[in-house]
A and B are shown apart, each in its own frame.
Chain A
């Protein structure tokens, strides 16, 4: 028993022995994931009920795919997400370079705040503000194309693209760019041959995150869209107001899958390699 008397440094609490841990954990997991599990399950229901299981079927997926309104909304959503995420990523890349590859200048913190503003301003406020401005412009010009949605989505996608790109740039060794210049590379060639290839994983990660964020936006889209410009989320919202069929579950499941794949890829890109 002599050994047990030697003082050992106190170890951190094991989560398993924390009082009430299991209850909180189980409750959290159930509230987070049970509804999603139910939603996915009933997307395969053979019947129209959202509560009574009537056997396995892919009829709601078939119905969703055949539904022209769904097709239309899906194409619009993908187009919007692709354009907005791409433009936002280009802007975010430039912003990240400007905020990491320059000496400290007055107002740099202000610029961080400005870039990340969409993360801090409540979405509904942005939505209402955009509604008022865009409504005025629509009346004034009579122009009602997708451009308003693209502009709005691009704006709120910028910080989501910016953060992973900036994180990537900040971990990058600055002496690599110095070395390139030392080896006769001009500023442009230094960027193209050294900076850009090294920040590429950050850019792709930013693009994917912005894409997912745009894809599932409801609030701003609902306020900004003109008549007939339904995206998948606003289409589903419209459907829920009328009759609810497992078709909505099927669409949700597909969006969930797409989001999960993109977010997993995002984490792979941002965690692997230094």
Chain B
């Protein structure tokens, strides 16, 4: 269990001071696949470097299994890192890289040899044991970097955007591979990424970060379906934002229609903005049953598995409706047509703004 307790990190001083993390607190549980998600410059990599010990926090404490490790140098923390550029030692073989951490821990030779073979098997690289790291592909280097970091069996594995250098197909494979490794080793993974899809697919829990703060922590479903604020909703998935009036647990949209909602704490009755995901919006014929809103079709975009209709409500607000394409279905929507729009029950989320 890692506890990040009110951590602030400032680089530089005076006029050039830059605060990368502002009063961040989070508890990462044992055996968890925890993701720090956010755009570049949001502080996610800084937080990772603080956990690894490469930088000390300016204020605050970091505890690992109850032990304060805030001032412990990186070589004394039972934490290993998979670097974004892998940082494999170019003057050592694949096996030499994997053995490095164990050698530094002073493990006996036969145990090191055994663990190296075990790691090579775990990442399916047995046949490349004696290769130089410059002679293997990017995906293979990635596996070596993973094996090297896992070999000393750390309490926590930190992964700094490890898949960003791989092409799409390889990235998908490695996502599954990482999940497998995590469940096989039972090690806590802290994973940094700016790719929301990657975060949703792989994580047990996600912390969404922006501007040096954690905006929301939750499991993928909570983050996607109940984002607390507009930034989170916008960063993850496609969003429709509409204005409405909250009163007694239901929202009446300015464009029409009243929906039961579960308003988050701290949001008072009155004017609010709400999120509706495009896949929860359905286009029907005018006046169709359950159609609470009416809109004009602005544009229809076909993208293979789905069709997205860009609509304009009577208030002038834009709304997107996304529908999976069924076999043989023909496009019925024409630009300029007046249509009814319905929203799935429970699909309206009130945002903290």
User: A residues near B, CB below 8 A?
Assistant: 173, 175-176, 178-186, 189, 193-194, 197-198
Q: Which of B77-85, B120-128, B228-236, B322-330 contacts A (4 or more CB under 8 A)?
A: B77-85
- Find the B residue at minimum CB distance from A274: B90
The residues of A that contact B244 with a CB separation of less than 8 Å are none
- Find the B residue at minimum CB distance from A173: B87
B104 interface neighbour in A175, A176, A184, Cβ under 8 Å: A184
B346 at the A interface (CB under 8 A): no
Contact status of A175 and B74, CB under 8 A, knowing A180-B100, A182-B80: no
- Find the A residue at minimum CB distance from B54: A178
Can you sample 26 A-B contacts with CB below 8 Å?
A176-B89, A178-B54, A178-B87, A179-B88, A180-B89, A181-B74, A182-B52, A182-B74, A182-B80, A182-B149, A183-B101, A183-B149, A183-B152, A184-B75, A184-B76, A184-B101, A184-B105, A184-B152, A185-B75, A185-B104, A186-B75, A189-B104, A193-B100, A194-B89, A197-B91, A198-B90
B73 and A181 form a contact (CB under 8 A): yes
* 9 further A-B pairs in the complex, CB-CB below 8 A; given A176-B90, A178-B54, A178-B74: A175-B87, A179-B88, A179-B89, A181-B73, A181-B74, A181-B75, A182-B75, A182-B149, A184-B104
A182 and B81 form a contact (CB under 8 A): yes
A183 and B104 form a contact (CB under 8 A): yes
**Least distance between A180 CB and chain B CB atoms (Å):** 7
- Lowest 5 A-B CB distances belong to which pairs? A183-B101, A184-B104, A179-B87, A175-B87, A181-B74
The residues of A that contact B91 with a CB separation of less than 8 Å are 197-198
B148 at the A interface (CB under 8 A): yes
The residues of B that contact A173 with a CB separation of less than 8 Å are 85, 87
**Least distance between B331 CB and chain A CB atoms (Å):** 44
The residues of A that contact B148 with a CB separation of less than 8 Å are 183
- Tell me the complex Cα distance, A179–B149, Å: 9
The residues of A that contact B81 with a CB separation of less than 8 Å are 179, 182
- Tell me the complex Cα distance, A193–B100, Å: 9
Q: Which residues of B189-206 have CB atoms within 8 Å of chain A's CB atoms? A: none
- Tell me the complex Cα distance, A106–B100, Å: 36
**Least distance between A272 CB and chain B CB atoms (Å):** 13
The residues of B that contact A184 with a CB separation of less than 8 Å are 75-76, 101, 104-105, 152
The residues of B that contact A175 with a CB separation of less than 8 Å are 83, 85, 87
The residues of A that contact B76 with a CB separation of less than 8 Å are 184
Mostly helix, strand, loop or mixed at chain A's interface?
helix
- Tell me the complex Cα distance, A228–B104, Å: 54
**Residues of B within 8 A of A (CB-CB), count:** 23
For B83-111 the 0/1 string (1 means CB < 8 A from A) is 10101111100000000110011000000
User: B residues near A, CB below 8 A?
Assistant: 52, 54, 73-76, 79-81, 83, 85, 87-91, 100-101, 104-105, 148-149, 152
B100 and A183 form a contact (CB under 8 A): yes
**Least distance between B150 CB and chain A CB atoms (Å):** 11
* Most chain A CB within a 10 A radius of its CB, from B73, B85, B89: B89
**Least distance between B269 CB and chain A CB atoms (Å):** 52
- Tell me the complex Cα distance, A194–B73, Å: 18
The residues of B that contact A176 with a CB separation of less than 8 Å are 87, 89-90
**Least distance between B52 CB and chain A CB atoms (Å):** 6
**Least distance between B156 CB and chain A CB atoms (Å):** 12
The residues of B that contact A181 with a CB separation of less than 8 Å are 54, 73-75
- Tell me the complex Cα distance, A198–B88, Å: 12
**Least distance between A26 CB and chain B CB atoms (Å):** 43
**Least distance between B160 CB and chain A CB atoms (Å):** 10
**Least distance between A116 CB and chain B CB atoms (Å):** 29
The residues of A that contact B90 with a CB separation of less than 8 Å are 176, 198
- Find the A residue at minimum CB distance from B91: A197
B83 interface neighbour in A179, A189, A197, Cβ under 8 Å: A179
- Tell me the complex Cα distance, A200–B274, Å: 62
The residues of A that contact B149 with a CB separation of less than 8 Å are 182-183
- Find the B residue at minimum CB distance from A172: B90
**Least distance between B133 CB and chain A CB atoms (Å):** 11
- Tell me the complex Cα distance, A176–B91, Å: 11
- Tell me the complex Cα distance, A173–B91, Å: 13
The residues of A that contact B74 with a CB separation of less than 8 Å are 178, 181-182
**Least distance between A211 CB and chain B CB atoms (Å):** 25
- Find the B residue at minimum CB distance from A178: B54
**Least distance between B347 CB and chain A CB atoms (Å):** 45
- Tell me the complex Cα distance, A178–B49, Å: 10
- Tell me the complex Cα distance, A175–B89, Å: 10
**Least distance between A95 CB and chain B CB atoms (Å):** 23
- Tell me the complex Cα distance, A173–B133, Å: 15
**Least distance between A106 CB and chain B CB atoms (Å):** 14
**Least distance between A99 CB and chain B CB atoms (Å):** 21
* Most chain B CB within a 10 A radius of its CB, from A175, A186, A189, A194: A175
Contact status of A183 and B54, CB under 8 A, knowing A175-B85, A176-B87, A198-B91: no
- Find the A residue at minimum CB distance from B151: A183
The residues of B that contact A197 with a CB separation of less than 8 Å are 91
The residues of B that contact A194 with a CB separation of less than 8 Å are 89
- Tell me the complex Cα distance, A126–B83, Å: 49
The residues of A that contact B52 with a CB separation of less than 8 Å are 182
**Least distance between B153 CB and chain A CB atoms (Å):** 12
**Least distance between B311 CB and chain A CB atoms (Å):** 48
- Tell me the complex Cα distance, A264–B292, Å: 82
The residues of B that contact A180 with a CB separation of less than 8 Å are 89, 100, 104
The residues of B that contact A186 with a CB separation of less than 8 Å are 75, 104
